[in-house]
A and B are shown apart, each in its own frame.
Chain A
Amino acid sequence: MDGGLFLIQLLNGIQLGVLLFLVAAGLTLVFGIMDFVNLAHGALYMVGAFFCAWLTLNYDSFLLALIISVPAVFIVGYALELLVIRHLYHRDHLDQVLATFGMILIFDTLAHLIWGPAGLTFTLPDAVNGHVSLFGLTDFPVYRLLIIAAGLLVALGLYLVIGRTRVGMLVRAGASNRVMVGALGVDVAKLFRYVFAAGAMLAGMAGMIIAPITEARIGMGNDILIIAFVVIIIGGIGSIRGAFIASLIVGLIDTMGRSFLDDLLKLIISNQAAETSAPAISAMLVYILMAAILYFRPQGLFPPKVR
């Protein structure tokens, strides 16, 4: 393996990591504060991608599409909470799983109805569609670097909001002991509605910024949702810091495993055996990591302190 390829895959891993973080951040707060299983979180990622792709195709401006889509997904999240989710907090997990599973079917079929079965593709504006040279080693797409920058910026913002503001303090307190926060006179239901909508918005943003690379496609949210689950399990439910670190670990391991595992395996087993087994093993890698971490720490790496 040469240095250039390694650098590319390293950056790709980080890019997947920040994307996972955007999805996992909302998910871990929703789980942490309300002990609520939301399978429909991935659907909001898909909604974000479709909004953005559709607006870009109609108004021919990716930037404008982003500016409109971000609050739009926030509103979708807010409405979802108001209509369905808040009736489910006091139900058991089984009910929550079933209802949000039903909502995935609703979102997926609605996307099919509105935007058709094929998905939406669009090209990036020329300004961000080029490549830059990395230390003279290799070329790398500018847009992917922008994704990393945007993701890290959001992570920093979230860290400051949660760690330094009054709202953030309430969110942290809610994750530790919801009942006590309510007893101290905070309107937990309202707090949670905004947390849910903000989480939806973050997931939607992840969908928007990845849409030019992949495409907006039905079912895209379900694929990332399960990896986001792995991320928050590893990071510890309710912990933003845990979600951030776990996202980068999972993103890097997944990307690196897919590109370099066959080379590594060839050192110990025959070439042919390595070529056939490497794809299967690298697909399982993050799950094996999850199992190993759970075996030693059933609460994840960074569980919130008081539960």
Chain B
Amino acid sequence: MKDSLRRLSLNGWVMLVSIVLLALAPTITTWMDDPFLLDLIMRMVILSIAAVSLNLILGYGGMISFGHAAYIGIGAYSVGIPAYYEIHSGLFQLGVTVVVCALFAFITGYICLRTKGVYFIMITLAFAQMIFFALVSIEEYGGDDGLVIYQRSTFEFGPDLGSDISLYYTCVVVLTLALLIVHKIVNSRFGLVIRGSAGNDARLMSLGIPTFRYRLVCYVIAGVICGVAGWLLGNFTNFISPEMMDWTRSGELIFMVVLGGAGSLFGPVLGAVAYLTIEEVLSGITIYWQLPFGILLVLVVLFGKGGLTGLIAKIGRGDK
């Protein structure tokens, strides 16, 4: 009990410092005259949103989706394709993102969630690859080469995303909302069913709870949140290509969640920040940065359990 209190306070400190840093980031980077740093932080925030949504199904629901990057792609193309036809309304693009992501998650989820284990992993991967190849082969929207977005989403009432600073704060607000939503879901009766079904699905079903429906709704929610992250990413990079939903992106998202600690609320955020920092540092040293990164990945799996959150908790408890 005492242990858990101390762990809470340590996590609380990490959170408080992060919030202050996030709020002040544009000021600090302007002061340091390093706009690239703000770009990096913005990517961290956007990928955090995606990782938080993946954590909802992977960390809490035990559904190992290897196709989560597909939603990033759908979100980004929901900016790019309307912009190609000169429709820049943010509300319209967000609407498309939400509807298409929800539909895709519903249809694929309906088929995936009937299966378990290895099947689930491979089928989510295959469906994401389906969207990837479909977009690669549509020449109209640039195919392999992608599309440049000449104008970001516009809102009649709301932030002017044309400015990097207000786009940044929009991302931070969305991240906060995503965390709140996941927190609410996980601690509700609905979340109890999701977590319970990850532990022992058969038992819940024998209690008369139709877990399939709960899991499907959860899968759709996670897809939509990740789609919004993709919508932000499309606006941020001003460029979309199928590469955004390459299956290695899905693998990276899983790595972020696991590195940060699956099934903890802030873990994925820590994981995303740590991942992008590692990538940034290593790729600055060598073009072969994926070699040490791959080795690190194997080592983390073989020897590190519980991710960064677990590590912080361990340090908080005072053991090695």
Contacts and interface: CB of A to CB of B under 8 A. Distances in A.
A104 B298 CA distance: 10
A6 interface: no
B121 A294 contact: no
B288 A113 contact: yes
Contact of B118 (A93, A105, A288): A93
Given A37-B121, A279-B138, A298-B119, A226 B126 contact: yes
Interface string A79-123: 000001001100101110111011111101110110000000000
Interface in B245-286: 247-248, 251, 254-255, 258, 262
A84 B294 CA distance: 13
Given A93-B121, A276-B140, A106 B301 contact: no
A295 B254 CA distance: 26
B126 A222 contact: no
A105 B290 contact: yes
B66 A97 contact: yes
Interface in B293-318: 293-298, 300-302
A31 B118 contact: yes
Contacts of A105: 290-291, 293-294, 297
A226 B296 CA distance: 24
Interface stretch (B129-137, B154-162, B221-229): B129-137
A97 B298 CA distance: 10
Contact of B290 (A97, A108, A237): A108
B134 A284 contact: yes
Contacts of B258: 94, 98
Contacts of A281: 134
A294 B298 contact: no
A233 interface: yes
Nearest to A228: B122
Given A279-B139, A298-B115, A97 B254 contact: yes
Contacts of A139: none
A156 to B, nearest CB: 27
Interface string B225-237: 0000000000000
B217 to A, nearest CB: 20
A94 B254 contact: yes
A226 B294 contact: no
A188 B108 CA distance: 36
A125 B111 CA distance: 48
Interface in A263-301: 276, 279-284, 287-288, 290-291, 294-295, 298
A101 B129 contact: no
Contact of B114 (A97, A113, A276, A294): A294
B119 A98 contact: no
A280 B136 CA distance: 8
Q: Which 9 A-B pairs have the closest CB atoms?
A: A102-B297, A105-B294, A287-B130, A106-B294, A279-B137, A283-B133, A109-B291, A99-B301, A102-B298
Given A35-B118, A102-B296, 18 more contacts: A31-B118, A37-B121, A87-B302, A94-B258, A97-B251, A99-B301, A101-B251, A102-B293, A102-B298, A102-B301, A105-B291, A105-B294, A106-B291, A113-B288, A276-B138, A280-B138, A283-B136, A288-B130
Interface of A: 31, 35, 37, 39, 84, 87-88, 91, 93-95, 97-99, 101-106, 108-110, 112-113, 222, 226, 229-230, 232-233, 237, 276, 279-284, 287-288, 290-291, 294-295, 298
8 contacts: A93-B121, A94-B58, A94-B262, A98-B251, A109-B288, A222-B247, A232-B122, A233-B122
